[in-house]
Chains A and B, each alone.
Chain A
């Protein structure tokens, strides 16, 4: 049996300036663009480090609230950043365990009377010591149905967000306009969230860098022609409706892989390593985006 009081494990990161610099550099490498997001993370890191230094001098300060709300267009990396956030807060020594519990409305709201509160509380208990990530949080509130149980979940959430800040960080994410409407209907929510971070759309150069990273992870590469073609593809695709930033890039790459596969499959016997990994211009140019002058199909 363990000793009655196990020694507290020291926080991995002591929050020294060097540690934080390393963390931010790592973020910079892994996330393309997203300047406002990185700036906010740098600020939070600085605040936590300063708070710790103040505590050493006996300057008391309440724990800063770190609940966040990520808004932005589809595919701007809200979920990706939220996933990273848990690890970041753990390394900064704010969050004790640094795990992430990702939920949506289904996980919080019950189906009948009296079902919601235990369900929400169970999720909250699981998330304690880490980060609770609520994707598309606006679905929690359904103004058209006044007997919707979502309201009950919201009230429990608010209470825990207020009273147990040291145990739990809540991150909401969703599209900007719908989140704004959600906060209008639940002003208490908005004021309990210290950090509202807006994710900007990516520029074409950033999308090209994202494509390069994705390709590398999938074990492919563009040749020169393909890179130029993809740049032209992005130009056209960005002007069309339903453009979903990085997600559209991933879909486009997936479709290019399909075309690449069917092209290589015809001569599979003589395909060498180069042929198996190289995407050529034709794989990109076959896209419907280049065919139609203006359409709605997500080519």
Chain B
């Protein structure tokens, strides 16, 4: 099951040229771009691992592309995303975030039903991949 988180996730995977164009756009807006990765794709897992520091004061996407490539090479079977942070007062938040790398196989999510008091049912989801310990998922 294809994970759809962040921008562009319902589209086919972006090519490197498309990623570069997006990053150029972010830099032109003055946003700080950073690269993050994770192997726990639960939607509530907001904070992924940072791959290096956020990159401030960049003018050209080449530096970001270099980091993205390095991250893909290091973690080929993890999700990698690019975040663009806007530090303008009043915004101070991530303005654009999109996935640039995903594992070859995406097993999807398990829906867990829990019986609660009375006839109440509680639902939760769990990525199948997280059944394996951290670092051994998506192999």
Contact = CB atoms under 8 A, between A and B. Distances in A.
Q: Do A and B bind each other?
A: yes
Interface of A: 1-2, 4-6, 96-97, 99, 118, 122, 124-126, 128-130, 164, 167-168
Contact of B21 (A6, A118, A124, A164): A6
B105 to A, nearest CB: 26
B46 interface: no
Interface in B52-106: 52-53, 55, 57-64, 66-67, 96
Contacts of B1: none
Contacts of A129: 59-62
Given A4-B22, A118-B52, A97 B14 contact: no
A5 B25 contact: no
Contacts of A99: 59
B18 interface: yes
Given A2-B25, A4-B21, A6-B21, A126 B58 contact: yes
Ordered nearest first, which 8 A-B pairs have the shortest CB separation?
A129-B60, A125-B63, A128-B62, A167-B62, A128-B60, A97-B59, A5-B21, A128-B63
B132 interface: no
B116 interface: no
B57 A126 contact: yes
Contacts of A4: 8, 11, 14, 18, 21-22
Interface residues of B, number: 24
A218 B60 CA distance: 36
Chain B, interface SS category: mixed
19 contacts: A1-B96, A4-B14, A4-B22, A6-B21, A6-B25, A96-B60, A97-B59, A118-B53, A122-B55, A124-B63, A125-B63, A128-B59, A129-B60, A129-B61, A129-B62, A130-B59, A164-B62, A164-B66, A168-B62
B120 interface: no
Contact of A125 (B11, B14, B21, B66): B66
A162 B124 CA distance: 52
B126 interface: no
A97 B62 CA distance: 11
A120 to B, nearest CB: 12
B59 A5 contact: no
Nearest to B26: A2
A126 B59 contact: yes
A6 B59 contact: no
Nearest to B70: A121
